[in-house]
Structure 1
Amino acid sequence: MKYFLCALTFLTRIPIPANAIDQPDSFKKSIYFFPVVGLIVGGILAGSYYLLAKIFPQSIAAALLLFIYVLLTGGLHLDGLIDTVDGIYGGRSREHRLEIMKDTHPGAFGVLGAVVILLIKYSIYTQLSSDMLVILIAASVMGRQAMVWVQIFYPYARKQGLGMLFNIYGNIPLFGVTTGITMVILFLLAQINGLYIFLICSIILFILASWLSHLLGGLTGDTYGASCELIEISALLTGLLLVL
């Protein structure tokens, strides 16, 4: 249970007792629960949107859902996206890109990237109906699972950093367990469409992570967050196309 609570407190702003993560290995083992946390986040978003859409016009409900998403996650993954976009588009070399990504002040490229992502999410939210809310849950699960995969298959680009908390590079058993959990969740949510979402997002993630790793000599905590956001968007778009 403590590993689940550790994953929940790392990926969300849901209040968790401080003693829930009192062991040094809590972070490393908590990653088994990333897809489950995605299920919880997605469930909260789906439930919130269902209620909001009954009270407000769809455009307002979508805007409020976006606000709830940022509150629920603390903007953690969005912050990683901002830093990643800043580094990729502002840097001229591997070292320069990594240095830019360490800067706590967002640059113009990063802010623009965040605005584009939020606009796309908002646009997708406005297209959702009450019988399509499983897409929100599926996207949330895929986004968190993406963070597991990129840590397993791509080395860490720095000698130290937040991403070193997990240190799961090359952990194939972890890949098997979390992938199995993710596929079961997606199938139960959307049957064959859930597996299509899984397959398409997996391909997109491989292309994205390989490109980022080529530019940075590995991946960082910021790119983990960026992967989560971009795969969420990919899953939302894929799910929307499959049901329209």
Structure 2
Amino acid sequence: MRHQAELFFTALGFFTRLPVPAWVPWSPERLRHAVRYLALVGWVVGLAGAAGYLALSWLLPPALAVVLSMALTIRLTGALHEDGFADACDGLGGGWDKAQALAIMKDSHIGSYGAIGIVLMLLAKAAALVELAAIGSFGAQGMPAGIVAALLVAHPLSRLAATSLIQLLPYARDDDSSKSRPLAQRLTPAGLAIAGLCGLLPLALLTPAEAVAAVTATALVTAWCARLFMRRLGGHTGDLLGATQQLAELACYAGLLAAPRLAAPFAAA
């Protein structure tokens, strides 16, 4: 049990800016095994975002509360996944071949593709969350606002989507200089089971129709990312995992918004 706690805190320390206990050791090998708890880290981020929104919405209009709660989660993670998405946009948008795309993604400067991509991503997520915030009762447990259930589901599920690419795709870089290189190793069956449980368990907050819509949208986007990354780069990188998380998070919100419309014909019948 202590070993599993160490792995969780290792993941928490790497994927967020939250402090971890001093007794937690660190090594690349531990980080490789700690990926199993990436979705559980999503629980922490989702809870922070939901709590931030609920607190802010007492005083502020929903749209502003949404934007500030997004800022809170970005600060909590150090914009790790957003940075990966921007780098992926630059590399895939501006690179003519694999070597050039990887070189662009490794550059710390942001280009036109990255700037446009991250602005559109943040706007899309904000717009989706504002719509979800307008839903007064949402999910199987009657959450106080649609945005609460959405955040608690989307953050773990989207991180599970990124974890799945580690299992499905090889690592695209030939060098070992990337700080995310230890994450490239596939999980053991036990580790994969833990990751799956952490990513899928929050779906219990939703109705079956909502859960199916969220998982379907997330799976479709993840499959599209896997196909694109293999075709363009022959595998994944840390930036591409971050991009997958961002796209999967947005897809989850979109699936939840589409669920009532998709279920309407069946309800009418």
User: How high is the TM-score relative to the length of structure 1?
Assistant: 0.92
Q: Does 1:116 align with 2:131?
A: no
Which residue pairs with 1:153 in the alignment? 168
- 2:196 pairs with 162, 179, 184, which one? 179
Q: Which residue of 2 aligns with 1:205?
A: 222
Q: CA deviation at 1:102?
A: 0.9
Could you tell me how far apart the structure 2 residues matched to 1:170 and 1:235 are?
A: 24
Q: Which residue of 1 aligns with 2:180?
A: 163
Deviation at 1:235, TM superposition (A): 0.6
**Shift of residue 83, structure 1, vs aligned partner:** 0.6
Task: Report the equivalent of 1:61.
Answer: 65
When structure 1 is superposed on structure 2, of 203-212 and 108-117 the one drifting more is 203-212
Summarize deviations over 1:23-77 as a string: whole Å, max 9, x none: 4422112112111111121111111111111110112112211211211111000
- 174-183 vs 133-142, which deviates more? 174-183
133-142 vs 13-22, greater mean Cα deviation: 13-22
Letter of the 1:225 counterpart: G
* Alignment match, 1:39: 43
Report if aligned partners of 2:53, 2:66 keep a CA contact under 8 Å in 1: yes
Task: Name the structure 2 match of 1:86.
Answer: 90
Shift of the 226–166 alpha-carbon distance from structure 1 to 2, 3 Å rule, reads: same
CA distance in 2 between counterparts of 1:190 and 1:141 reads 14
State the match for 2:149 in structure 1: 134
Aligned residues: 243
Corresponding position: 1:189 with 2:205: yes
Q: 1:21 to 1:195 in 2, by over 3 A?
A: farther
Alignment-derived partner of residue 232 in structure 2: 215
5+ residue gaps, structure 2, are 135-143, 262-269
Post-superposition offset of 1:116: 0.3
Match of 1:75 in 2: 79
TM-score, normalised by the number of residues in structure 2? 0.84
- Give the residue type in structure 1 aligned to 2:191: L
Deviates further, 31-40 or 227-236: 31-40
Q: What's the RMSD between the two structures over aligned residues?
A: 1.8
- For residues 187-241 of structure 1, give each alpha carbon's deviation from its aligned partner in whole angstroms, at most 9, with x where no partner exists: x221412243123311220111211221012111100111111100111111122
Alpha-carbon distance in structure 2 between the residues aligned to 1:61 and 1:91? 37
Distance 2:58 2:19 in 1: 28
Secondary structure of the residue aligned to 1:52 is helix
Report the residue type matching 2:253 in the other structure. L
Letter of the 2:91 counterpart:
G
CA distance, structure 1, for counterparts of residue 117 and residue 42 of structure 2? 23
- Over 3 Å counting, the alpha-carbon distance change for 1:88 and 1:18 in structure 2 is farther
Structure 2 distance, partners of 1:206, 1:173, is: 23
Number of the residue aligned with 1:224: 241
